[in-house]
Amino acid sequence: MTRPDPDTGSLAAAGRRLLDSLARRVAVDEAVGVLQGWQGCDAAQARGELTEDAGDVGLGAEAARVAAAVDAQADGTADPDYGGWT
């Protein structure tokens, strides 16, 4: 019995969807961690803050907003391994 060849196009599309989903999840989890640090709250409270105004639909946008705020305040030279690279 022979196996049919896999449809590489659909496998690639499924792989891209998986990577996109994981990237969104990581962004939200990072934003939750940032809010926990900023506000001294637990994960459920931080996630509630992210979804408060935007709901689940806007969760990714809120996570991106938090990441942009962190990036704007970040001082890359504060890294103890910073060696003057640009």
Over 70: is that where the pLDDT of 7 sits?
yes
> Contact 57/68 with Cβ under 8 angstroms?
no
- Residue 17 domain flag: no
pLDDT band at 84 (very low <50, low <70, confident <90, very high): low
- Residue 47 domain flag: yes
pLDDT band at 66 (very low <50, low <70, confident <90, very high): very high
- Residue 10 domain flag: no
pTM (two decimals): 0.72
Q: How far apart are CA 9 and CA 23, in angstroms?
A: 21
The reported pLDDT for the residue numbered 25 is 93
- Residue 49 domain flag: yes
Q: Over the stretch 15-64, which tens digit does the pLDDT of each residue have?
A: 999 999 999 999 999 999 999 999 999 999 999 998 888 787 788 899 99
- Residue 54 domain flag: yes
Instruction: Give Rg (Cα) of the chain.
Output: 19
Burial of 76 (0-12, 13-18, 19+ CB in 10 A): exposed
**Domain containing residue 65:** 42-70
- Residue 60 domain flag: yes
- At residue 44's C-alpha, the angle toward residues 38 and 45, to 5°, is 45
Number of structural domains in the chain: 1
